[in-house]
Structure 1
């Protein structure tokens, strides 16, 4: 039986491959008898509004094609609703898709997951501001050196992709000093000077940096990774080990776990799922099974 599938595509993701991949997926879904509603628009805000309308009208699945930024949009549309989210991974990082075992840059396999995959409930992380507005993320939130690098990189129109991030690291690192933090986990307050603090529902961010290597999408807990104050030279030594997750063996790395986390620091803007989130201070809580995602019917397939 065919499904009504809403599709939002970021055409510029994955070095402009997102648009082509979205078209391939839509064509395959239609060939298999599904109705595809094109919800993309000129701006993310307009696409969001169209998707909200489609969800209100009762689509069977909302599919987003792009990188982690598009996943972030989809999470905020589908969290705490009955509408499943399907992820068509077309970005450069794709950390959430990889963490869920989804196909990457494979339109045929992605379309099969959208149309005939199985639903999986996962935890997502919620922030509620003073006005009662809610924001969600699914993967990792970073608040420290990494977010300062993002803030700097986002002011540059060139170069694109990873090179811009690497150049921002080179500019930010020489003058960087450890940041005074207060990190409160399930009511227990920790005060420290740290290079960065991450909060993970998923394991990785930034295209494979496994900052919270033991985090799980469905354990009802957040993993908080604190990299305490170390020298610039030591930081450069530790940094490459994050891609294997072995940085957690370093004596300056501390892992905390809990259901609610409050981060406090001056002048830090947090990034979540690769997107600019909110300035600190902020309180985050894990909401178990608050999001349904479509995953392959056969693991790895």
Structure 2
């Protein structure tokens, strides 16, 4: 499958909020100088000034108003160096998996970190999570959208899944020595 946001296709995940701000914050100079540590440094700076934003999420005939620090819409399971969008997600399951981080304190993100690595964050009270084939996200102020690591779109955003959009040919797992 492929995901689509405002007509732009994405392979894996599109997000609004913290990860888009992190993509904006991390410069090629920071990456070159600090490597992976640069992401951690930039993330800590972002957490210090993190402020939730209001969004309306519409899916399956329901509109929910949320206060969130990040909304992510995933087509696959993993993103961002081993984080998990949703534990049971597959890139060919025909749905998108959305989560919204509705935390009010930065330290809750630290507590959530192990659940994100295992794909169990959707079980937490501060995380709204669901699967859908289409979803719209509207924000009062335009917010940038990070698609597969690039800042490409902005809200309002219409996401949808494009089931079976890519054909992959690979040997059967047992046939390769």
TM range (shorter): 0.7 to 0.9
Q: CA deviation at 1:275?
A: 2.1
Q: Whose helix proportion is higher, 1 or 2?
A: 1
Q: Please say which structure displays the higher CA radius of gyration.
A: 1
Equivalenced residues, count: 173
Between the aligned partners of 2:171 and 2:75, the Cα distance in structure 1 is: 21
1:286 aligns with 2:161: yes
Between the aligned partners of 2:160 and 2:122, the Cα distance in structure 1 is: 23
Which residue matches 1:257?
A: 131
Q: CA deviation at 1:158?
A: 2.2
Which residue matches 2:5?
A: 127
Q: Which runs of 5+ in 1 are unaligned?
A: 1-122, 129-133
Pick one of 182, 195, 200 that aligns with 2:74: 200
Q: Which consecutive aligned stretches of 4+ in structure 1 deviate over 6 angstroms post-superposition? A: none
Q: CA deviation at 1:208?
A: 0.9
String of CA shifts for 1:164-205, please: whole Å, max 9, x gaps.
Answer: 211111111111111111111133211110121110110111
String of CA shifts for 1:19-45, please: whole Å, max 9, x gaps.
Answer: xxxxxxxxxxxxxxxxxxxxxxxxxxx
Contact 2:3 2:74 (8 Å CA) reproduced: no
- TM-score normalised by length of structure 1: 0.53
Between the aligned partners of 2:175 and 2:74, the Cα distance in structure 1 is: 23
Between the aligned partners of 2:175 and 2:156, the Cα distance in structure 1 is: 39
Q: Which runs of 5+ in 2 are unaligned?
A: none
* Larger RCO: 1 or 2 (CA < 8 Å, sep 6+): 2
Q: CA deviation at 1:299?
A: 6.0
Which residue matches 2:49?
A: 175
- TM-score normalised by length of structure 2: 0.87
String of CA shifts for 1:39-81, please: whole Å, max 9, x gaps.
Answer: xxxxxxxxxxxxxxxxxxxxxxxxxxxxxxxxxxxxxxxxxxx
SS in 2 for 1:234: helix
SS in 1 for 2:161: strand
Between the aligned partners of 1:240 and 1:199, the Cα distance in structure 2 is: 20
Cα distance change, pair 216–279 in 1 and its aligned pair in 2 (3 A) = same
Which residue matches 2:113?
A: 239
